[in-house]
Every structure is written in C-alpha cells, then in structure tokens.
Amino acid sequence: MADPAVLKQLRETLSGLETGGFRRRPALPFGIEAIDSRLADGGLRLDALHEVAAGTRDMADDCAATLFLAGIAARAWG
C-alpha cells in the first residue's frame, strides 16, 4: 500500500504542473540580444520540446551540449 503522504505530495506536484504552477514565464531568454531576437517569445519556450545535439562525435562537443542543457535546466525553474 502506498504511503498517503507520498501520494499527497505527488498529487500536489502534478497539480502544479498541470496548472502551470511551475511556469514563471513563457520563455527562457539567453540574455544575448543576437540570440533572443531570433527566437520566438525572446527565448526558448518553456512549454515546448527542444533537441540539443553535439556538433561532432568528439567528446568535447558532447560535454558542451550536456553542459548547455544543464545550464538551461538550472535556470528554467529558478
């Protein structure tokens, strides 16, 4: 049997996601005008799926893509 406290917390989390409780803005700007001006809503939309891939098979490019995504994730929800 599931713990009622855990279920309550999960329901609250899902409710927040469904109602946009975590979304503070429609887009996440980079703060670089040359990039933000070319993106819809002035940044990466927070309600959309984005794909990021390394430019080559080199490990350095893989690391750069991963760190780019980590930076976005760290800023997305504050």
| pTM of the shown model | 0.55
CA distance 28 to 41: 9
State the residue for tokens 């080199």: 58
Q: Is 56 helix (H, G, I), strand (E, B) or coil?
A: coil
Is a pLDDT exceeding 70 seen at residue 21? no
Q: What is the enclosing helix (H) or strand (E) of 44? A: strand 44-45
What's the token pair of residue 24? 């503070």
Q: What is the enclosing helix (H) or strand (E) of 27? A: strand 27-28
Q: What was the pLDDT predicted at 63?
A: 96
